[in-house]
Amino acid sequence: MKGRITEELYRYALSIAKDEHPVLQDLRKRTQTLPGSHMQISPDQGQFMAMLAKILGAHKYLEIGVFTGYSALAVTLAMNADSAMTFALDNDQVTMEVAKEYWAKACVVNKITPIIGEALTSLIKLIENGHSNTFDMVFIDARKSDYIAYFERSYQLIKPGGIILIDNIFMQGLVLEHQQKESARAVDEFNHFLKSQDLDYCVTTIADGLTIVRKPHQGGI
Ligand SMILES: C[S@@+](CC[C@H](N)C(=O)[O-])C[C@H]1O[C@@H](n2cnc3c(N)ncnc32)[C@H](O)[C@@H]1O
């Protein structure tokens, strides 16, 4: 099951979707041979994020949680202007090397700045280095217990009219369990934190749940 639809309907959806970019396809196959392959986003989520980047006319994208680079590649390919740039944050040097290999194959490696280290520290450095209010889109997909902290920094980093996407907000249904495991409890806390704020956002049931938050322009819209 992907979200609320059956396997059969999901296969149908993929069959009628636009073809996955050949390098994204290769990267998916390669990632399937690696530990943690379940962490990679699905092709339909990649296409959805790419479409959001196109609708926004995004030029500057920040990703928190890169793994082998699928979502970063999907979004970077969608920002085809010369000025497009992606900042890719992860603490795993080994999977980042795989990512770089495929970004190079897709001829976008020069548009992506990999930043290895603790994501929260990297976010603080981006703020210190003057990147506040400059990103069009941020994708949060790393350590669940840091979701609120990632979100607060990301909200500072996106420009008015920009959006933040937060992944795995259902944690494969574990947010509903009475005895939640730590990561599910953290995501549940994040979901309720967001609800308690006066923010413009919507919850979507794509893949494992993807929340979209938009920072308003001055004047509120
Ligand atoms: C769910 S995967 C990201 C999947 C990716 N977006 C994709 O499309 O394939 C989460 C990633 O977050 C990274 N991560 C987890 N905790 C982190 C932390 N505290 N700081 C930086 N990266 C972290 C992991 O190394 C892993 O690569």
| Phi, psi dihedrals of residue 25, rounded to the nearest 5° | -65, -45
Q: Which atom of ligand 1 is nearest to the CA of 68?
A: 9
Residues 6+ apart with CB under 8 A from 45: 71, 206, 207, 210
Confidence of residue 221 (pLDDT cuts 50, 70, 90): confident
Q: Please report whether residue 127 resides in a domain.
A: yes
CA–chain centroid gap for 136, Å, is 13
Range of the domain at 126: 7-214
Q: Which atom of ligand 1 is nearest to the CA of 167?
A: 1
CA 198/CA 195 separation, integer angstroms: 8
Q: Which atom of ligand 1 is nearest to the CA of 36?
A: 2
* Domains held by the chain: number: 1
Q: How far is the CA of 66 from the centre of ligand 1 (A)?
A: 5
Q: Please report whether residue 156 resides in a domain.
A: yes
* pLDDT score recorded for residue 1: 45
- Counting ligand 1 atoms within 8 A of each CB, the residue from 71, 143, 182, 208 with the most, and so the one to mutate, is 143
Amino acid at 150: Y
What is the domain-level CATH number for residue 68?
3.40.50.150
Q: Please report whether residue 2 resides in a domain.
A: no
Residue 112 pLDDT greater than 50, yes or no: yes
Closest by Cα among 123, 207, 124 to 167: 207
CA 97/CA 95 separation, integer angstroms: 5
Q: Please report whether residue 1 resides in a domain.
A: no
Query: What is the rounded average pLDDT of the residues 88-112?
Result: 98
Q: Please report whether residue 221 resides in a domain.
A: no
CA 214/CA 179 separation, integer angstroms: 32
Maximum pairwise Cα distance, the chain = 50
- Give the H or E element holding residue 63: strand 60-64
Q: What percent of the chain has pLDDT over 70?
A: 98
Q: Which atom of ligand 1 is nearest to the CA of 92?
A: 25
Give residues (CB < 6 A) around ligand 1: 39-41, 65-68, 70-71, 89-92, 95, 118-119, 141-143
CA 95/CA 78 separation, integer angstroms: 22
pLDDT one-digit tens code per residue, 25-60? 999 999 999 999 999 999 999 999 999 999 999 999
| Phi, psi dihedrals of residue 80, rounded to the nearest 5° | -90, 5
Q: Please report whether residue 15 resides in a domain.
A: yes
